[in-house]
Chain A
Amino acid sequence: MSIEVRDVHKTFGTFAALKGVSLKIQSGELMALLGPSGSGKTTLLRIIAGLETPDDGSGDILFHGENVAALRAAARHVGFVFQHYALFRHMTVFENIAFGLRVRPRRNRPSNDAIRGKVASLLKLVQLENFAGRYPSQLSGGQRQRVALARALAVEPRVLLLDEPFGSLDAKVRKELRAWIRRLHDEIHITSVFVTHDQDEALEVADRVAVMNEGAIEQIGTPEEVYDQPASAFVYQFLGNVNIFEGRIRNGRLRIGCLELPVSSPESADNQPARAYVRPHDIELARIVAGEGVRRGTVQHIHTAGPIVRVGVRTFDGSQTIEVEIAREKHQELDLRVGNVVYYRMRHSQIFVEDYSI
């Protein structure tokens, strides 16, 4: 079941939460909606589910090519996992999961035995076989999350929508559930959209990622695409750490102080301000000058915790401190100390000309 969102607008009062969003999710795909807080992710997800309606006359929602914009939430057959789970607190885990089956009209309601069997298999799927009789308040956050998921899956939805499914869990449980949900998806292959503001989560779990900012989609692509070829300065900055160098374009090259970088887009005018974006791991360090484009700096701090060593290098003119990430071995080999002189070179950079057209 594919999902297509066409040019959806949503305004709350005078505030435009979504400004013409279009998105296509392939059948069986696991798509992440990634963006900072307030970027409209939840709003978009709720519009897909039918829990919110787009502005009058704007936009269409298509499930498998069929326009569902006029359908109410119940008729869309979506599974929705709420950010805070919204479990029915007066029902046991079993009754929570069975709810969607029990409220069906009598003629297509499964028998009690069938419901019991279905719930049991779902409990097995989410690894909560022994928790059927508990109340939501007697479960941990991660367990509640899985109950919410099982409850959503019980009605055999056509698509599964998850709002910050790991949002209120601690770091370790998040990591576990992340891997688990990926495996689950590989098992049941239901078209899924999940909202997150955690870039690691999106890049690790999703087949494709849609990056949102201020009510619009900045880029859609596989995790590799959005990470390696960010379509905008925002995406570059949002996905991972970045060093920013401000400069001006001169003769088709970006000049940053005495450093020059080649500019790929040829139409950029002369003397225009621009910025170079460089990831910390795209900077090489050396103790001696070797090759072209090498600049000098001094080591300002070194953080050695974890598998990667982060080195802060103060540029020669003292205008900024750049963050560099190097492997542990490399660090040992270089034997850096605070105050040492080092030479750095940008392996890879991307330049965005500042946009004054707005």
Chain B
Amino acid sequence: MRFFAPKNNVLPGFRLAMGFTLFYLSLIVLIPVAAIFIKTAAAGWSQFWQTATSPRVVASYRLSFGVSALAALANGVFGLLAAWVLVRYEFIGKRMVDALVDLPFALPTAVAGISLTTVYAETGWIGQWLKPLGVKVAFTPLGVLVALTFIGLPFVVRTVQPVLQDLDREVEDAAASLGANRWQTFYRVIFPALWPAALTGATLAFARAVGEYGSVIFISGNMPMRTEITPLLIVTKLEQYDYAGATAIAVVMLVASFSLLLLINLLQWWSAHRGT
């Protein structure tokens, strides 16, 4: 049986389009990504393990994955809220706010990094109000959280919004007519319909946050063992010409990325086929 053989053979151009797609995909993505694994395998398991589990590296995992999880959680909660407000309520400037949600997708990470640092520094527009409360953001793990929350902000909003829009208002009216109050309607009728999308969005935000570099390095302060994220550690190793070390950490990151990609696909598949 021919693999990649189209069933619909009326439209032309399948071979050309597919041929180019596979060629370009292999050239730009598949071969380079495969190379890194082959390189690691060649270097040997023990060296890989030693680098990948050294204390400084492990501390960076803890920070990167832990804070990314917190950021994803924050985005899950506030993203759901923002999506709700944007879909269900009317207020002045709504369209502009809606458009602005995509800013973290569009704004270069370096720009976001220096700007967040300035705003959340002790003298910054927001930082000065937090300082009297004893909250220090810039150059602490909290700063990392701020940057990672920024970077993942659009995901939950954008995955929940369409689901919320498609939600049949009649179902809510039905619940109300059956005697449910607004809160009961929300957590028994609306929330169950939204949370798979919110979960998918939060996972996307998490995946993005784990690998984020540009927006974090300015605000984090980059203190080893404390505010050093894993991607930064890769760069540090590279600058010291420690290619093997950089590669070992990169492989860990890649495996994490692949697992997350798989998880996201499963989540999407599951939320699409749920209840049908």
Contacts and interface: CB of A to CB of B under 8 A. Distances in A.
Interface of A: 50-53, 73
5 contacts: A50-B10, A51-B10, A52-B10, A53-B9, A73-B10
Contacts of B10: 50-52, 73
Contacts of A73: 10
Nearest to A53: B9
Nearest to A73: B10
A53 B9 CA distance: 8
Contacts of A52: 10
B6 to A, nearest CB: 12
A228 B9 CA distance: 41
Interface string B1-33: 000000001100000000000000000000000
A3 to B, nearest CB: 19
A52 B11 CA distance: 10
B225 to A, nearest CB: 58
A133 B10 CA distance: 30
A282 to B, nearest CB: 46
Q: What 5 pairs between A and B have smallest CB-CB spacing?
A: A51-B10, A73-B10, A53-B9, A52-B10, A50-B10
A52 B9 CA distance: 7
Nearest to A51: B10
A73 B9 CA distance: 10
A315 B10 CA distance: 56
A73 B12 CA distance: 11
Contacts of A51: 10
A42 B10 CA distance: 15
Nearest to B7: A12
A217 to B, nearest CB: 24
Contacts of B9: 53
A48 B163 CA distance: 42
B127 to A, nearest CB: 51
B10 to A, nearest CB: 5
A210 to B, nearest CB: 24
A52 B7 CA distance: 9
A50 B10 CA distance: 8
A251 B132 CA distance: 108
B162 to A, nearest CB: 22
Nearest to B12: A72
B71 to A, nearest CB: 42
Interface string B49-60: 000000000000
A50 B9 CA distance: 10
B153 to A, nearest CB: 35
B11 to A, nearest CB: 10
B16 to A, nearest CB: 16
A278 B260 CA distance: 66
A268 B10 CA distance: 49
A53 B8 CA distance: 9
A91 B9 CA distance: 26
A108 to B, nearest CB: 21
B9 to A, nearest CB: 6
A51 B8 CA distance: 9
A310 to B, nearest CB: 37
A52 B10 CA distance: 7
Contacts of A53: 9
A51 B11 CA distance: 9
Nearest to B10: A51
A73 B10 CA distance: 7
Interface in B54-79: none
A51 B9 CA distance: 8
A80 B242 CA distance: 66
